[in-house]
């Protein structure tokens, strides 16, 4: 199956932590600076967590997020790791019988920090182009010029306040106060600063100028331009000024000039190195495997929509599906199998009593996967047929008459009902051409491609 199962499942619960109430200014930063980098789905996921975190204090399942956003669990995982990579989200996981996550939302960087960062600024430049880049940068510029003739007369703290040495004790420490955490991203840089120093003389580049901020900029630029310590030595020699000082702006400018001279006149682009969609450990080999993957990754609302050829399901059907997941704790994949089974064999009628009767049986049998649900539906099919007959308004009259007539038409069943681990059909089963035609029609109906994570 999919490696996504090891990372995230729809039934996993989560809680949200906000460091403090975010503002409309944060929303502008997210929309204009971060959305071009991570996409609308990731920003929508962040905004949803933001909205839920301001009110919700209790745990919820990821199935709730699937319903709100209208996307499968694979897309939610993709959005999550995009936010983590860009520095907008920190995720904590607790592996117990019921896996739990804590989503710690981080505020976006302020415009100055964002545009000073060599990776983020270049990433945005490569996404939106020079004209749009200059426009959005100018939007966040603050003009602080003071008119002529003005002189600052502000008092300092020590001008107004003086200490009084009284025995009034000391205030207690408060380590859990709100703070605006730095929403910067994390990098795994293995840049060799030791080798960098070996090629720089102390007279030309004093050790003191390589501060933590300068080192961070050097490492990011080396990553951006794919340079090693030897190339960065030349960049530093170009950037250091006559007073033997280094600035982040100076290093960025020197790196850009050196790149234009030695590599290309066009700036490098940042692209996603790895697919963030769930990695398939073993690609589905059969239609049965593809169907299981679809049922395990799609939400029940998607399944209802696919069965109805893309039409939106009625609120009553959605409410029934949600109730099975939220109130009774059924796995979404199991609910998907149940919905397919009932709808396709009852001529698209989702009878609540019939659904709940089968669901009750599956809950007692502790069915947790789509594959187990399919197997149980096959083995208990005759019993479920009896249950359906018992619930029919004409069941009593048919029982009294003891009619031996066969049904006029054969009810449809999901395609997976006829496939059992791709084993050939038993010799005793006669070939039914009409059934084969209907199976092919059902396969087209299910629109499996929506659940493959492509």
Angle of CA points 287, 7, 105, to nearest 5°: 135
* 436 shares its domain with 315: yes
Output the average pLDDT for the chain.
78
Burial of residue 137, with CB atoms counted within 10 A of its CB: 0-12 exposed, 13-18 middle, 19 or more buried: middle
Domain edge (last residue) among 239, 270, 301: 270
Phi then psi for residue 90, to 5 deg, are: -120, 130
254 and 293 share one domain: no
Question: What domain range is 235 assigned to?
Answer: 187-270
Do both 194 and 264 map to the same domain?
Answer: yes
- Chain centroid, CA 403 distance in Å: 56
State how beta strands 60-61 and 89-94 pair. Answer: unpaired
- For residue 125 the two structure tokens come to 């430049």
Please give the average per-residue pLDDT across 354-371, as a whole number.
88
Nearest residue to 235 (alpha-carbon basis) of 267, 190, 265, 205: 205
**pLDDT tens, position by position, 233-289:** 888 888 888 777 888 888 888 888 887 778 777 777 666 665 544 444 456 667 777
Given a cut of 90, is residue 136 above it in pLDDT?
yes
Tokens of 289: 């495997």
For 159-187, what is the mean pLDDT?
A: 66
Q: Are residues 199 and 331 in the same domain?
A: no
Q: How many helices (H) and strands (E) does the chain have?
A: 22, 4
- CATH number of the domain residue 21 falls in: 1.10.10
**In terms of domains, do 295 and 408 share one?**
yes
Q: Does residue 151 belong to any structural domain of this protein?
A: no
Residues 418 and 307 both lie in one domain: yes
Q: Which domain-ending residue is among 49, 82, 110?
A: 110
- What confidence tens digit (pLDDT) does each residue in 316-345 have? 888 888 888 877 888 888 888 888 888 877
Co-location of 299 and 440 in the same domain: yes
Residue 129 within a domain = no
Whether residue 199 is contained in a domain is answered as yes
- Domain contains 412: yes
Same domain, 330 and 401: yes
Same domain, 228 and 334: no
Nearest-10 Cα torsion for 158, 161, 165, 168: -130
The number of domains in the chain is 3
Give the containing element (helix H, strand E) for 52: helix 40-55
Give the contacts of 2 (CB within 8 A, at least 6 positions apart). 74, 278, 279, 280, 281, 293, 296, 297, 453
Rounded distance between C-alpha atoms, residue 372 and residue 361, angstroms: 13
Asked whether residue 173 is domain-assigned, the answer is no
Q: What is the pLDDT of residue 1?
A: 38
Instruction: Classify residue 432: in a domain, yes or no.
Output: yes
Domain annotation covers residue 279: no
Give the per-residue pLDDT at 450: 44
Statement to judge: residues 371 and 403 lie in one domain: yes
Q: Are residues 245 and 100 in the same domain?
A: no
Residue 120 belongs to a domain: no
Q: Is the pTM of this model over 0.85?
A: no
Q: Answer yes or no: do 295 and 425 share one domain.
A: yes
Q: Give backbone dihedrals phi and psi of 282, rounded to 5 degrees, phi first.
A: -135, 120
């Amino acid at each position: 199956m999919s490696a996504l199962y090891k990372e995230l499942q729809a039934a996993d619960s989560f809680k949200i932590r906000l460091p403090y109430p975010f503002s409309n200014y944060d929303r502008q930063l997210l929309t204009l600076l971060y959305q071009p980098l991570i996409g609308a789905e990731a920003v929508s996921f962040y905004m949803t967590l933001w909205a839920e975190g301001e009110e919700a204090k209790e745990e919820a399942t990821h199935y709730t997020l699937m319903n709100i956003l209208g996307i499968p669990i694979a897309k939610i995982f993709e959005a999550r790791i995009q936010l983590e990579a860009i520095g907008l989200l920190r995720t904590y996981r607790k592996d117990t019988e019921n896996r739990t996550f804590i989503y710690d939302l981080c505020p976006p960087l302020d415009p100055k920090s964002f545009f000073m960062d060599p990776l983020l600024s270049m990433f945005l430049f490569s996404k939106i182009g020079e004209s749009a880049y200059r426009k959005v940068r100018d939007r966040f510029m603050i003009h602080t010029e003071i008119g002529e003739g003005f002189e600052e007369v502000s008092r300092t703290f020590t001008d107004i306040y003086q200490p009084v040495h009284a025995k009034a004790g000391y205030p207690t420490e408060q380590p859990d106060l709100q703070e605006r955490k730095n929403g910067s991203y994390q990098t795994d840089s293995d840049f060799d600063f030791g080798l960098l120093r070996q090629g720089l003389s102390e007279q030309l580049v004093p050790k003191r100028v390589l501060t933590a901020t300068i080192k961070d900029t050097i490492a990011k630029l080396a990553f951006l331009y794919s340079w090693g310590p030897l190339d960065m030595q030349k960049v530093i020699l170009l950037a250091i000024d006559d007073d033997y000082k280094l600035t982040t702006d100076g290093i960025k400018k020197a790196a850009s000039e050196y790149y234009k001279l030695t590599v290309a006149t066009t700036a490098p682009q940042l692209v996603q190195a790895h697919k963030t969609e769930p990695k398939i450990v073993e690609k589905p080999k059969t239609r049965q495997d593809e169907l299981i993957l679809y049922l395990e990754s799609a939400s029940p609302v998607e399944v209802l929509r696919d069965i109805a050829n893309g039409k939106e399901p009625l609120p009553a059907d959605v409410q029934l599906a949600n109730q099975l997941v939220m109130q009774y704790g059924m796995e979404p994949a199991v609910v998907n199998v149940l919905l397919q089974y009932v709808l396709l064999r009852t001529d698209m009628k989702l009878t609540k009593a019939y659904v709940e009767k089968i669901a009750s049986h599956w809950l007692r049998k502790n069915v947790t996967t789509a594959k187990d649900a399919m197997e149980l539906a096959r083995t208990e099919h005759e019993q479920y047929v009896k249950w359906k007959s018992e619930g029919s308004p004409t069941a009593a009259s048919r029982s009294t008459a003891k009619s031996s007539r066969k049904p006029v038409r054969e009810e449809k069943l999901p395609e997976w009902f006829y496939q059992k681990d791709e084993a050939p059909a038993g010799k005793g089963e006669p070939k039914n051409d009409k059934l084969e035609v209907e199976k092919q029609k059902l396969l087209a109906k299910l629109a499996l491609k929506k659940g493959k994570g492509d």
